[in-house]
Structure 1
Amino acid sequence: MLRLARIAVDHHMAKRLDDDHMWKETTATDILLSTASPRIRYAEFNTAHEKEHGADWLWCWVDRDGTTFCLLVQAKILKTRGKRWSIDFTYKSKGDNRPQISKLIAASDRYEAAAAYILYCGDAQYRATLECDRRHAGVPCRERDRVGVSSFSALVAENAVNYYGKDAGVAAFHAAIPLEDIAGPDNLDTPIVPLTRGLPEDLARFLRQPQRGARRVAKELLRPVEQIRIGQFTTAVLERAKPVAGALFPDLPADRGHFSVPYLAHMLRGLRAEVPSYARDVLEGRTPPAWVTDHLAGIVVITDADALPAAAGRLADYAHKVLEDQSASATDWD
C-alpha cells in the first residue's frame, strides 16, 4: 500500500526533476494518498489551515483491535542549493513571528497526537551531493532505499534546528524513516533502552519487545527521539506528566531533556486504546466536527495496520502497473 504509493511519488519527483522543475508538497501528497486509496481512507477539509499552525494532515494507523496511533503531520521537501541542503522548519507566515515548527508542536495538543513531518526527498541521484558521514546498515545516508517518502518526529526537527544550524536539514534527513517501513517492515524492531528508569512495566515491555501496527509506528518514531535524549547531558526527571484520557500508556514521565515538551508524553499520547472520534467519523463516512475540519487539510486513516504485508511478487507486479499507468497519462499533476 504505502510502498506502492511511495513508488508513484518517486516516479513523479524524478519526472519533475527531468523536466527541470521542483515538485510540490501538495502534489506529492495527492499522489501518495490517491495511489494508496482505497486501501487507506482519507477525507479532505480546509485548504487555508497552514498559516494558523503549520499542520497539514492527521495520519492515524488503526489496528484490528482498535489500537490507534495518530500524528499531526506537516509535509516538507528536502531542498538543495548547490551543496547546501535544507528543510524549511522555521518558516514564518506573514505577520506571525512564530516559527512553523513551534506552531505544529503546539497545534498537536488539540488532537492529543504526536507532531511529525512527512518528507519528500527525491531519488538517490537528486541527493548525490548531500554530505552526511553516517551510514545506515553499511549504506551511505543519502543512498538509502525507500527514503524518498519518509517521516520523523517534530522533536527530531526541533533538535536539528537548535543544535545543527544550517545543517539541520541533513541531520533531520539522517533520522528520517521510510514511511512504508514504520508499520510493516520485513524485520523485527530492536528494543529501545530508555534513559528514564522506573517506567511502568507495560511501557517498559512495549519498549523491549517487538511491536506491530500502530504500536510499531509509535515505537519507530520514538526511537530517534530517545537516541537524541540519551545524548543530552541532563538528568532525567521522575515527575509524571498529565495523563491523557484513553492513551494506551497514561502514566508517563515528564522528562523533557532539551526538548520543548516532555518527549515520552508527547510521542506516546497519540497511541490510543480506541479509535479517536475524528478517525471513526472518516471510517464511517461522516464529516468530523468543525473543530477538526476548520484546522486541517484532511485526515488519513490506515486500517488493519497490524495486518501481515502482501507478498513481494504481488507488490512488484502492482508497482510496475502503477508506473506504466502514470507514464501513459498526460495529466499535469500540478
Structure 2
Amino acid sequence: MPGGEEMSPGEALRTARIAVDQHMTKKLDDEHMWHEETATDILLSTASPRIRYKAFGKDHEKEHGADWLWCWVDRDGTTFCLLVQAKILKRAPSGKRWTIDFAYKTRGDKEHRPQISKLIAASDRYEAAAAYVLYCGDPEYRATLECDRRHDGAPCRERQRVGVSAVSALVAENAVTYYGRDAGVAAFHTAVPVEDIAGSDNLDTPIVPLTRGLPEDLAHFLRQPQRGARRAAKELLRPVEQIRAGQFSTATLERAAPAAGALFPDLPADRGHFSVPYLSHMLRGLRAETPGYVRDVMEGRTPPAWVTAHLAGIVLVTDADAQPATGGWIADSASGPVENRTSSAMTPGTRGAA
C-alpha cells in the first residue's frame, strides 16, 4: 500500500471510511451509539496527510447548521466547495423506523428555522453547494432497513461502502417534503459513498438533464467522464437531476444570475420543486480558480474572520484530479472493513437502537 501522501483521494477516503466503520461497529457491539463529531475526527485524521484539514474552533450548528467546508482542488486550480453538516442514520428501538433528523431545530434559534433551511442559506456565504455527510453504520446495523429500491440487484440496506456517504441538501429537503417519516431512508438510498465522490476506477456515467438548450461546455461536462473537482460536483448533482426528472413540472428556460468565478456561470434558473434553482445551487461551488480563503489554508495562512468565525474548519482535497499511484483501489485489510464481517452477538432488534 502506498504512503499516505501517495494515495489518491479515493484511496485515502476509503482507508478513512474503513476506520469509521470499525469505530461504529465497536460502539454498537458495546451497545452504544457513535457521535458525529467523533466519527468526523476519525475520518479526517485517518485520511490525513493525503487529505488535509484545518480546524478553526467550535462548530457553528446553532447559527447555520454547518460543520465543515470541503474543497476539492485540481492541479490547474479548478475547485469544488461543499458546505457540509454531519448526520447519523438512526434506528428506532422497534427496528422498523429509520430517521435522519434533517428537520432538527437548534435550541436558541429565535427564528425556529429547521437546520436544513439554515444550511442551504448559509451556503450562499461561500457560494458553495450544501450537503450532508451521513454516518450509516455497518450492514448488520442496517439489517431491518426496508427500501423498495435496489442497487445492482442488492437490497438498499446491503449497499457496500455507504457507512460514510454524502448527499445534497436539496435531496434531503426533497425527502423531508415528500417522504415525511421515511425521509431518512429516501436520502440514504440516494447517498453516494464519499470515496466514490472523490473518484474511482470506473468512469462516471452521463447525466441527461431535463433542461434543454444548455451551453455547450455544460452539456459536455454532463455527458463526458470527469475527474477531481469536476467529478465531485457531478456525483453530487446526479441524484438531484434524477429527482428533478421525476417531478411533474415544466423546466424553465430563464437564466439564473451569473455566479462570479463559477466554471459554468450561465445556468438555467429552473428549480422544479426544490427551494432554489438546483443547477445554479449545485454548480456554483465549481470554480475556475481556487477561492482566496481556500488558498490561505493551502499556503499555511489563517483565512479571514468571516470564514473562521462561521466554520468548524476546512477540508482540502488537493491534487484532486491526480491519478492513483497504485492504479486502483487499495484492498480492504483482513481485519478491516466491517462491511464484510458480522462480529456482534446482539440481536438485530436491539443492536444500535436509537
Residue matched to 1:107: 122
CA distance in 2, matches of 1:314, 1:61: 19
Structure 2: segments with no counterpart, 5+ residues = 1-11, 339-354
Residue 149 of structure 1 deviates from its aligned partner by 0.3
Residue matched to 1:163: 178
Residue 40 of structure 1 deviates from its aligned partner by 1.1
SS in 2 for 1:214: helix
Q: Of 72, 77, 89, which residue of structure 1 is paired with 2:102?
A: 89
SS in 2 for 1:315: coil
Residue 182 of structure 1 deviates from its aligned partner by 1.2
CA distance in 2, matches of 1:241, 1:167: 32
Q: How does 1:20-169 map to 2 (within 5 A)?
A: 20-81=31-92, 82-96=95-109, 97-169=112-184
Residue 133 of structure 1 deviates from its aligned partner by 1.3
Residues 147 and 262 (structure 1), Cα distance of their counterparts in 2 relative to 1, 3 Å cut: same
Q: Of 236, 251, 263, which residue of structure 2 is paired with 1:236?
A: 251
SS in 1 for 2:53: strand
Residues 233 and 194 (structure 1), Cα distance of their counterparts in 2 relative to 1, 3 Å cut: same
Identical-residue share of aligned pairs (%)? 82
Q: Of 196, 208, 231, which residue of structure 1 is paired with 2:211?
A: 196
- Tell me which amino acid in the other structure corresponds to 1:84: R
CA distance in 1, matches of 2:54, 2:60: 15
- Tell me which amino acid in the other structure corresponds to 1:56: D
Residue matched to 1:280: 295
C-alpha distance after superposition, 1:17-45 (max 9, x if no partner) = 00000000000000000001111111101
Q: How does 1:212-291 map to 2 (within 5 A)?
A: 212-291=227-306
- Name the Cα RMSD after superposition: 1.7
Please, what TM-score do these two structures have when normalized by structure 2?
A: 0.88
Residue 314 of structure 1 deviates from its aligned partner by 8.2
- Tell me which amino acid in the other structure corresponds to 1:57: W
Residues 249 and 316 (structure 1), Cα distance of their counterparts in 2 relative to 1, 3 Å cut: same
CA distance in 2, matches of 1:225, 1:310: 32
Residue 94 of structure 1 deviates from its aligned partner by 1.7
SS in 2 for 1:316: coil
Please say if residues 85 and 130 of structure 1, whose CA atoms lie closer than 8 Å, have aligned partners that are also in contact: yes
Please say if residues 184 and 308 of structure 1, whose CA atoms lie closer than 8 Å, have aligned partners that are also in contact: no
Residues 146 and 48 (structure 1), Cα distance of their counterparts in 2 relative to 1, 3 Å cut: closer
Residue 315 of structure 1 deviates from its aligned partner by 2.6
C-alpha distance after superposition, 1:266-301 (max 9, x if no partner) = 000000011111211111111111100001100000
CA distance in 2, matches of 1:183, 1:6: 12
Residue 317 of structure 1 deviates from its aligned partner by 7.3
Residue 309 of structure 1 deviates from its aligned partner by 2.5
Residue matched to 1:292: 307
Residues 318 and 67 (structure 1), Cα distance of their counterparts in 2 relative to 1, 3 Å cut: farther
Please say if residues 49 and 297 of structure 1, whose CA atoms lie closer than 8 Å, have aligned partners that are also in contact: yes
Residue matched to 2:15: 4
CA distance in 2, matches of 1:274, 1:221: 20
CA distance in 2, matches of 1:243, 1:141: 38
CA distance in 1, matches of 2:126, 2:41: 23
CA distance in 1, matches of 2:336, 2:132: 29
Please, what TM-score do these two structures have when normalized by structure 1?
A: 0.94
SS in 1 for 2:198: coil
SS in 2 for 1:182: helix
Please say if residues 119 and 130 of structure 2, whose CA atoms lie closer than 8 Å, have aligned partners that are also in contact: yes
- Tell me which amino acid in the other structure corresponds to 1:24: H
SS in 2 for 1:58: strand
Residues 76 and 319 (structure 1), Cα distance of their counterparts in 2 relative to 1, 3 Å cut: farther
Residue matched to 1:330: none
CA distance in 1, matches of 2:62, 2:135: 20
Counterpart check, 1:304 vs 2:319: yes
Residue matched to 2:24: 13
Residue 46 of structure 1 deviates from its aligned partner by 3.0
CA distance in 1, matches of 2:334, 2:290: 31
C-alpha distance after superposition, 1:104-132 (max 9, x if no partner) = 00000000000000000000000000000
Please say if residues 59 and 67 of structure 2, whose CA atoms lie closer than 8 Å, have aligned partners that are also in contact: no
